[in-house]
Amino acid sequence: MSSARASGTRLLAAVVLSACIGVIGGGLGAWGVYTHFGPVERVITQTKTGGGGISVGDIATAVKPSLVTVSTQPVTPAAVATGAASGLSQGFAVSGDGLIVTSARSVRGASRLRVATADGRAFDATIAASDVRAGIVVLRAAGATGLTSLRIAAQDPRIGDLAVVAYRAPLGTLTARSGVVAAVGIDASDGKVDLADLVAVDSSAAPDAEGAPLVDGTGAVIGVVTTVSSAPGVVASSGRDAAALIGGVQRGSPLAAASFGATGVIVDASSAAALGVPPGALIRSVVPGGPASGVLAPGDVVTAINGTAVTASTGFQPNDFGLVVGDRTTLRVTGSDGVPRTVTLIVAAG
């Protein structure tokens, strides 16, 4: 069999398998097929207001002024020139006065923090707020003014939406990756921390894009790129979680990372029907001694939090529902035996 025919057969099999699993498992099945078969190249077009096409390059160029390089340890020019530099990652401005968003993984073990802007300025920085579970930190660049900020998208991305990663290579070259949103609301590990509420993009990998913005076709941020070794393409923390963290800093009361002490995966209506459970967050694990210990168990489905239904658009983290450490909350739960119940727990630090 020729290589072209074999490739086509493999892709057809992946598509058929994806369709079958989609009937059975919805978003969970799509994520499984994506992680197994990897990204598929697509030609993506977007229509400009007033007619004409907008390219990925247009989007990346519009985002470029807001991009920053984050240095987490001293770096020499020689190390950069020879490709041996470490401690450099991506970030982006979200306010004119120096708030910078990047991934939590990128600043792990930092010995110093310094950010360099697209217009050639550099500032020392400190961590203003962090949410390790979401995989996001907000930095404050000391003395920064007049930064070009990106806006966070008002709505969560949907499967099939255009997604673009724009970032600068170590020597400043603007680089972009594009694809479509393959999955939302997933959990995965970055190797050391279990992350929640992630967005996966069907795109070629971007190994130098840690901390870069994932944006939609309008240039609004829908995620913060982070590294998940089990994913073949691009994975990002939720833009919604970033917005919550930024909002806390701007109000002068940054949200502490909060947790229910449980991990869950969102089950949509289709998947729920196939599994014989109600839609909601299917509990995967419970932290011993945490808030949910003795209250929730693997196999339970949390259908509502304080009366709000749990869906892919709401997520399953306390901050998604405006809850902070110390809040008492009520959860509507259906057990693995199919019996619904109401439980209460107190949100703890994550």
| Contact assessment for residue 33 and residue 52, using Cβ atoms and an 8 Å cutoff | no
CA proximity to 71, closest of 168, 152, 145 = 168
> Using CA atoms, how far apart are residues 34 and 233, in angstroms rounded to an integer?
9
| Contact assessment for residue 235 and residue 188, using Cβ atoms and an 8 Å cutoff | yes
**Six-digit token string for 56:** 């990925």
pLDDT score at 78? 66
Angle at 36 between CA 31 and CA 41, to 5 degrees: 85
User: For 12, phi and psi rounded to 5 degrees?
Assistant: -60, -40
pLDDT score at 255? 53
Give me the CATH topology for the region 41-255. Thrombin, subunit H (2.40.10)
Residue 344: half-sphere exposure toward Cβ, Cα within 13 Å: 4
pLDDT score at 312? 75
Whether 41-255 and 258-349 share one fold: the answer is no
DSSP-derived secondary structure letter, 3: H
> Using CA atoms, how far apart are residues 220 and 241, in angstroms rounded to an integer?
14
Beta strands in 132-173 (DSSP E): 136-141, 162-168
Tens-binned pLDDT, residue by residue, of the chain (350 aa): 444 444 444 433 433 333 333 333 334 444 444 444 444 434 343 444 444 467 899 999 999 999 999 988 776 666 556 665 567 899 999 999 999 999 988 888 787 889 999 899 999 999 888 888 889 999 999 999 999 999 999 998 999 999 999 998 766 689 999 999 999 988 888 877 888 889 999 988 888 899 999 999 999 999 999 988 777 789 999 999 999 889 888 887 655 567 898 888 888 888 889 989 999 999 989 988 889 999 999 999 999 999 989 987 777 878 677 677 788 899 999 999 999 999 999 988 76
pLDDT score at 139? 94
Q: Convert 93-130 into a string of H (helix), E (strand) and C (coil).
A: ECCCCCEEEEECHHHCCCCCCEEEECCCCEEEEEEEEE
Tell me which CATH code domain 258-349 carries: 2.30.42.10
Domain ranges of the chain: 8-37, 41-255, 258-349
User: For 100, phi and psi rounded to 5 degrees?
Assistant: -125, 135
What's the chain's Rg over C-alpha atoms? 21
174, containing H or E segment: strand 174-189
